[in-house]
Chains A and B, each alone.
Chain A
Amino acid sequence: MASIELPHIAAAARPRAPGLFARLARHLAKNPSALIGVSIYLVFVLVAALAGSIAPYDPIEILFTEDGQLAASLPPSAAHLLGTTNLGRDVFSQLVLGARPSLFVGLTAAVAVATIGSAVGLVAGYLGGWVDRALMRLADLVLGLPFLPFVIVLVALIGPSLQNIVLTVAILLWPNAARVIRSQVLTLSQRQFIEAARVTGAGEWRIMLVHIAPNIVPLAFLYGSIAVGWAILTQASLSFLGFGATDTISWGTMLQDAYASQALDREQFSWFVPPGICLVLVVLAGFLISRGYEELLFPKLGEG
């Protein structure tokens, strides 16, 4: 009986089960907050990618008016959409190019935090024993460090480049992700389907990577998107406080310049309000996405 039907099965086109990205996309369509968050990211990623052609001027070029005067502190106009700085630089061009360091810092920090957090959480939770104890005590130690002072000291020691800012943020933020992922791994390890994998001959590595790891991806994603906001704010804070790299134009350095040149006194809102709003939007997007994807942690509830 069985063999009669076999050719039929072989001939039938094999529809693929929806993969992770398909499920993420489907979830997105149903979830307005995640959709808004992702849209904000997409806009900023696009702006950062095309920054060179969007920005009308070189952001550090000092501009002069036609009569040879320094184009300092000009109000918004068609030539300068957001006016100019007190040193005659185009604010709009700075804003557009400032998206690059922010997004670079945010996204690489997200990847770093999600990767380290997942790896540590998975190993600690699944292997247990002294490995677990050692990793979790290390996490406790890092969690005890004050965030901004530590970043300032570390960046002062190893230099304020964007890579180093990402590094410090990753060092400080992985424990949060690792702790939560570890607890999820502990729960998953007790599930019967893990025992089923073992009884059907799956090795420990396979159980860890094939049966447990996919179930923690949403959590890693969540902590990654939280890290985006933290990293961008950290970079901006460092720049604003004057510890950042002086040769990069970022939203943080724009705020620092505006502050130092007392733009508020001159009521030059078009200089410092836009970078502030951009920062708020990017950080907000991270939190919107993480909120929206919380449901994805429980796939059964998510897609009834």
Chain B
Amino acid sequence: MDPLIEAFGLTKAFPVSRTWRQMLRAERPRLKAVDGIDLTIRRGDSIGLVGESGSGKTTVGRLLLKLTSITSGQLTYRGDHLDRMKGARLRGFRQQAQLVFQNPFDALNPRFNIRRIVAEPLVNLGVPRAEHETRTADSLRLVGLAEPQRYLDRLPHQLSGGQLQRIVLARALVVGPEFLVADEPVSMLDVSVRAGILNLMRDLKERLSLTSFTISHDLTLVRYICSRTLVMYLGRIIEQGPTEEIIARPAHPYTKALIAAVPRPDVDQPRDALPISGAIGSAATPPSGCRLRHRCPYAFARCASEEPPLIEVAPGHTAACHLHIA
């Protein structure tokens, strides 16, 4: 199938504050939150992006939705360059690509009632006013709020976290998008309502044949929703492949560590020692060679001198680790 979104060498760098010495030398240090990633999303895909805090996952999501500008590289949506989109074409894109937010308590304007919140995309995208009422109500029903009238005149702080996240979904779906980015969609919710939201998202993806891109630090969530998974570390994709394959046979030491770190409900069960230690470094000063080498128990001389490329370890499964080059 045609790729919906394609990225080549996608990079996002942020300026960081300079020291006096750097200012005198006219240096402009930059932090590459996303450092040259390639990505193909096909229609109907459900892709997961995992990584720990600071790996650049959220920035990838923001880039895909043109919420932040690209520093270098290419990013196309249905063949159109995202960084050149303006006016009507940008509005067309906004209608196609939507975002589900991490924190539903912050993602809804506290002074707008639910009616205005859900209808806002319709207003912005120029949908005739006569359709707002029905489309808003339909969208609320779609996300499992069976009696929309009960919610329309409420303000966000009068609803619960689970209800708010459904409103966030309803707002994203009201314009009928085909591509949905979800950035940690349940991390701010109580455990008891997470399953409901995740089931809803999985169900909606099927019913509306959405293409989804889910960002999370939680492999279990990605496993539940996504057929393909990307693992990110310090701005780079270090492993990608079918989700089940990656979980069953992780090829990169970092992925192994992520899987080992998944909490299990049984406290008595012995846990594998984590293969990596320490903390993710700063993307402003990434290590030479492999970015994981300071934390990796398998690191050898080559890891310091040469950055490993993504190599195929199984059909459709690639990993960036020198251990697999032999």
CA distance in complex: A202, B171 (Å): 13
A2-B141, A6-B134, A192-B103 known; A200 vs B110 contact (CB < 8 Å): no
Q: Which residues of A sit under 8 angstroms from B111, Cβ to Cβ?
A: 214-215, 299
Q: Which residues of A sit under 8 angstroms from B155, Cβ to Cβ?
A: 17
CA distance in complex: A200, B123 (Å): 9
CA distance in complex: A199, B67 (Å): 7
Closest-CB distance, A129 to chain B (whole angstroms): 13
Q: Which of A184-204 touch B at CB < 8 Å?
A: 191-193, 195-203
Per-position contact with A for B78-115: 1 when CB-CB < 8 Å, else 0? 00000000000011001101110111001111110101
Task: Check: B206 CB closer than 8 A to any chain A CB.
Answer: no
Task: Check: B148 CB closer than 8 A to any chain A CB.
Answer: yes
Q: Which residues of A sit under 8 angstroms from B95, Cβ to Cβ?
A: 201
Task: Check: A29 CB closer than 8 A to any chain B CB.
Answer: no
Per-position contact with B for A197-227: 1 when CB-CB < 8 Å, else 0? 1111111001000010011000000000000
CA distance in complex: A197, B157 (Å): 18
Closest-CB distance, B183 to chain A (whole angstroms): 9
Q: Which residues of B sit under 8 angstroms from A9, Cβ to Cβ?
A: 133-134, 137, 148-149
Which residue of chain A lies nearest to B94 when distances are taken between CB atoms in the complex? A201
Q: Which of A1-55 touch B at CB < 8 Å?
A: 1-2, 5-6, 9-10, 12, 15, 17
Q: Which of A204-257 touch B at CB < 8 Å?
A: 206, 211, 214-215
Task: Check: A300 CB closer than 8 A to any chain B CB.
Answer: yes
A193-B106, A199-B67 known; A10 vs B133 contact (CB < 8 Å): yes
CA distance in complex: A199, B125 (Å): 11
Q: Is the CB of B109 within 8 A of A193?
A: yes
Q: Which residues of B sit under 8 angstroms from A192, Cβ to Cβ?
A: 101-103, 106-107
CA distance in complex: A206, B125 (Å): 12
Q: Is the CB of B120 within 8 A of A202?
A: yes
Task: Check: B121 CB closer than 8 A to any chain A CB.
Answer: yes
Residue in B65, B91, B110, B113 whose CB lies within 8 Å of A300: B110
Q: Is the CB of A193 within 8 A of B175?
A: no
Closest-CB distance, A197 to chain B (whole angstroms): 7
Task: Check: B244 CB closer than 8 A to any chain A CB.
Answer: no
Which residue of chain B lies nearest to A299 when distances are taken between CB atoms in the complex? B110
CA distance in complex: A179, B109 (Å): 23
Q: Is the CB of B171 within 8 A of A196?
A: yes
CA distance in complex: A6, B120 (Å): 20
Task: Check: B306 CB closer than 8 A to any chain A CB.
Answer: no
Q: Which residues of A sit under 8 angstroms from B113, Cβ to Cβ?
A: 17
Q: Is the CB of B107 within 8 A of A193?
A: yes
Closest-CB distance, A296 to chain B (whole angstroms): 11
Q: Which residues of B sit under 8 angstroms from A1, Cβ to Cβ?
A: 141
Closest-CB distance, A248 to chain B (whole angstroms): 42
Closest-CB distance, A247 to chain B (whole angstroms): 46
Closest-CB distance, A162 to chain B (whole angstroms): 36
Which residue of chain B lies nearest to A194 when distances are taken between CB atoms in the complex? B109
Q: Which residues of B sit under 8 angstroms from A200, Cβ to Cβ?
A: 94, 98, 120-121, 124-125, 171-172, 175
Task: Check: B52 CB closer than 8 A to any chain A CB.
Answer: no
CA distance in complex: A299, B113 (Å): 13
Closest-CB distance, B139 to chain A (whole angstroms): 10
Closest-CB distance, A119 to chain B (whole angstroms): 20
Task: Check: B203 CB closer than 8 A to any chain A CB.
Answer: no
Q: Which residues of A sit under 8 angstroms from B107, Cβ to Cβ?
A: 192-193, 195-196
Closest-CB distance, B97 to chain A (whole angstroms): 8
CA distance in complex: A193, B101 (Å): 9
CA distance in complex: A192, B125 (Å): 19
Q: Which residues of B sit under 8 angstroms from A5, Cβ to Cβ?
A: 137
A201-B95, A202-B124, A299-B157 known; A196 vs B149 contact (CB < 8 Å): no
Q: Is the CB of B171 within 8 A of A191?
A: no
Closest-CB distance, B118 to chain A (whole angstroms): 10
Q: Which residues of A sit under 8 angstroms from B102, Cβ to Cβ?
A: 192
Q: Which residues of A sit under 8 angstroms from B171, Cβ to Cβ?
A: 196, 200
Q: Is the CB of B138 within 8 A of A15?
A: no
A201-B125, A202-B124, A299-B111 known; A196 vs B99 contact (CB < 8 Å): yes
Which residue of chain B lies nearest to A190 when distances are taken between CB atoms in the complex? B106
Which residue of chain A lies nearest to B141 when distances are taken between CB atoms in the complex? A2
Q: Is the CB of A201 within 8 A of B91?
A: yes
Q: Which residues of B sit under 8 angstroms from A202, Cβ to Cβ?
A: 120, 124
CA distance in complex: A5, B153 (Å): 18
CA distance in complex: A10, B152 (Å): 13
Closest-CB distance, A193 to chain B (whole angstroms): 5
CA distance in complex: A157, B91 (Å): 54
Q: Which residues of A sit under 8 angstroms from B103, Cβ to Cβ?
A: 192
Q: Is the CB of A198 within 8 A of B175?
A: no
Closest-CB distance, B199 to chain A (whole angstroms): 19
Closest-CB distance, B157 to chain A (whole angstroms): 5
Q: Which residues of A sit under 8 angstroms from B137, Cβ to Cβ?
A: 2, 5-6, 9
CA distance in complex: A192, B108 (Å): 7
Closest-CB distance, B196 to chain A (whole angstroms): 20
Q: Is the CB of B138 within 8 A of A2?
A: yes
Q: Which residues of A sit under 8 angstroms from B67, Cβ to Cβ?
A: 195, 198-199
3 A-B pairs closest in CB distance:
A200-B121, A201-B124, A201-B94
Given contacts A196-B108, A211-B109, 8 further A-B contacts (CB under 8 A): A9-B134, A9-B137, A193-B108, A196-B171, A199-B65, A199-B98, A200-B94, A214-B111
Can you offer 24 A-B residue contacts whose CB atoms are under 8 A? A1-B141, A2-B137, A2-B141, A9-B134, A9-B137, A10-B133, A12-B149, A17-B116, A17-B153, A193-B107, A195-B99, A199-B65, A199-B99, A200-B94, A200-B121, A200-B124, A200-B172, A201-B90, A202-B124, A206-B124, A211-B109, A215-B110, A300-B110, A300-B157
